[in-house]
A and B are shown apart, each in its own frame.
Chain A
Amino acid sequence: MTRNRWFGVLVVVLACTMCFTTGCRKKKGVAGDKTTGGMLGEPGMEESAFAPRPGELKILTDVKMDTVLFDYDSTQIKETERAKLDAVADYLKNTNTRAGVIIEGHCDERGSAEYNMALGERRALAARAYLIGLGVDGSVMQTRSLGKEKPVNPGHDEAAWRENRRDDFIFFEQ
């Protein structure tokens, strides 16, 4: 190849590399090449950008979805929990109401309250990323961490802790 062509190839290669490392701002909508079902989700992608917080919250109190549970110190969406997120995605994609959801992340009572704020938030974000992978628009999903502050089971044993490590889903009208 001529030197100009090599240069052209180099420019294209560089452009592609930069595109990947800066997150491909031009891509919109569904998370590119992520397959459904198998991925843990990838927080931080451009297409997952938050919308501003909803002003007044009109909670849709009769929409109830199952709580997603987590292992200790983990933010991974377990296989057993995926069907619950599928149901959430189905609702959000097919509902007639312009519904949004607050994904509320929680931890069990053990450990640092501050660290658990971040851990609860990552649990919420993990569910959000998974839902984006299923085609839900990032802009209809807010996250809210409650750390270890709001256990659903006030007990102090493994059974209670297991129930408290969770994501709750609160639907609201946009």
Chain B
Amino acid sequence: MKRFYWVLALAALIAPLAGSSQVRVVKSMNEVSLLDMGMFKSLSDGAPALFRRILETDLTRSEYFKIVNGLRAEYALLGNATLEGSSLIVRCEAYNVISKERYLSKTFKASEDEARKLAHQVADEIVMALTGRPGMASSRLALVGNRTGYKELYLCDADGQNLRQLTFDKTLSLAPKWGPDGRQMVYTSYRSQFPDVYLITLGNNSWKGKCIANFPGLNACAAISPDGREVALTLSKDGNPDLFIMKISSRRLTRLTATKWAGEASPSWSPDGRQIVFVSDRSGSPQLYIMDRDGGEPKRITSAGSQNVDPDWGANGFIAYSSLIGSLFQVFVLNPATLAIQQITPEDASYEDPSWAPDGRHLACARTQRYHSRIIIVDMISRSCISLLPDSATGDWSSVNWSPR
């Protein structure tokens, strides 16, 4: 009964923002459908087997499906994964078992060493075809790890695989934030002995970076705008940490805040790029404010909780953030239209610095217990919590940021 009430509360929270998709089928986010994969055939080893295993895992992780094999289900997957030479060929049909309506009918081809990547792609296509909503399987996460003794940037896939170290600067590399194309990222580095903001462009196996802000004082908290052309960031070059917008191409700065007795940090852009949510301690404690990117008076949006920090304004229109309740942080989701809030994380640990997945329902955040932090994926709908990285990933992990695609 308790579950019913919070589902109802959640539905009330998200009702104004649901159902904006143009696709034929739009499933309610809290519906879990049975998906029969019994008629999807693959060899029992090699690339086809890996493909099938990853596809099944991705579909389960999406939380839109419960996979069954040969049992009565709402949907069924028909097809096969085979090897032809060194190419992996996947034929796939997804249809409604009762109505026989076919939602996806496609053939995919990739080289056999790209089985994982193809499985992620196909999983996202199935999620979109059967629910009308984007998946998260093909996306990546940027995060900060300290296992080398220094805080460096890392990348991994949405299932925690393919963990790769990005920076090797042996200094502090912090706060990565993706740009809209999923290829660019800004972060803060102390390479110069001072905190500066860098812009990275990722290639397939390499990346290039350049410094875009190295003013005296603090350069930090950078966030790329939804159109990829600007960066909101905190600069203290004029004597106080305030928010600025920088046009990336010209480096031209526009000042957003001028609070002599307060600090501003953690800007995050609205999906339409017209507003920015940020942290300010002008009231005496760090709270969240929203202001237009063109200027004007910021509006305070948080009142409960002694500290409200680390906002992430998702493409779904909601703002996720951490709120200090007692001595623990919890992740909350806020509807900026109504200011209604909902706690997402359990009270067994401190959960901080959330980042929305492109599926608009999952969030990555840092879970701290006994002063060690790991990355957890939480689902706004089911409240499931799973670890992102395998236990073998040593050290503390934090500052996770989910790519937009």
Contacts and interface: CB of A to CB of B under 8 A. Distances in A.
- Do A and B actually bind? yes
Contacts of B216: 50-53, 142-143
B400 to A, nearest CB: 12
A114 B220 contact: yes
B123 interface: no
A65 B49 CA distance: 65
B286 A112 contact: yes
Interface string A21-50: 000000000000000000000111100111
User: Which of the listed residues A44, A49, A73, A142 has the most CB atoms from chain B within 10 Å of its own CB?
Assistant: A44
User: Which of the listed residues A48, A52, A125 has the most CB atoms from chain B within 10 Å of its own CB?
Assistant: A125
Interface in A122-141: 122, 125, 129
B379 to A, nearest CB: 23
Contact of A112 (B192, B238, B353): B353
B275 interface: no
A125 B214 CA distance: 17
B236 interface: yes
Interface string A143-165: 11110010000001000000000
Contact of B266 (A51, A112, A142, A156): A112
A99 interface: no
Interface residues of A, number: 32
Interface stretch (B64-72, B106-114, B257-265, B338-346): B257-265
A121 B399 contact: no
Contacts of B217: 50, 121, 125, 142-143
Nearest to B240: A43
A139 to B, nearest CB: 10
B268 to A, nearest CB: 10
Contacts of B309: 111-112, 114-115
Contacts of A44: 238-240, 258, 260
B307 interface: yes
Nearest to B310: A112
B398 A113 contact: yes
In which size bucket is the chain B interface?
A: 35 or more
Nearest to A143: B217
Contacts of B399: 113
B360 interface: no
B263 A122 contact: yes
A21 to B, nearest CB: 12
A117 B239 CA distance: 15
A45 B279 contact: no
B236 A112 contact: no
A121 B266 contact: no
A141 to B, nearest CB: 10
Nearest to B236: A121
A52 B285 CA distance: 32
Given A112-B310, A114-B175, A121 B263 contact: yes
A119 interface: yes
A57 interface: yes
Interface in B212-239: 214-218, 220-221, 234, 236-239
B322 A112 contact: yes
Interface string B35-53: 0000000000000000000
Nearest to B151: A149
B353 A117 contact: no
A127 B307 CA distance: 25
B129 to A, nearest CB: 38
13 contacts: A50-B215, A53-B214, A57-B193, A112-B307, A114-B175, A114-B221, A118-B264, A118-B265, A121-B218, A129-B239, A145-B218, A145-B220, A145-B236
Interface of A: 42-45, 48-53, 57, 73, 109, 111-115, 117-119, 121-122, 125, 129, 142-146, 149, 156
Given A43-B240, A114-B353, 11 more contacts: A48-B239, A111-B309, A111-B324, A112-B309, A113-B353, A114-B266, A115-B265, A117-B188, A118-B279, A142-B217, A144-B193
